[in-house]
Amino acid sequence: MNNLESRYYSILERAVFSSDPEEALSEAADLGRDLLKQTIHHETATEFHHNALLRLTQEYPDLKLSEVTDRLTTPLIEVSMAYSLAFRWQQEEKEARRFRQAQVARLEALGTLAAGIGHDFNTILGVINGYAELLRDERSLRAFSGAWWTKQYEAHKDS
């Protein structure tokens, strides 16, 4: 018998024989959360309950379970509810984590797209600026190219 199963038996035993079963209920809630933390499946927790009932009948043969059924049912419900609530919380956390990861991926893709558009826009602006400079310096360019062609023509003519 492992520690969790022993704890469960102890809770049931106190629920049956204690004058204050509320203490057992708070421990049952803690046990339900611990079962989920240690990834114990619900079927296994039900098996813990079954084994605890068998052990109670073996250790207390004069105990009539029909007389204490109400006191045994409440801790079982408490364990199951705590387990279920913790399981639901865990599933919601997983879903929130998946959503955040998808959101991060979308933002990353958007950033990559924006960087690409910015790069392309910068390239276009570079071309526009280049042509603007050429137009601004058109006179000096015409003068330079005209002198260069004249020199070339003169050099070929003399050869």
pLDDT in tens, 46-59: 787 788 888 888 88
Nearest to 4 by CA among 98, 69, 58, 79: 79
Residue 65 has pLDDT above 80, yes or no: no
> Which pTM does this prediction carry?
0.48
Q: Quick one: pLDDT at residue 136?
A: 65
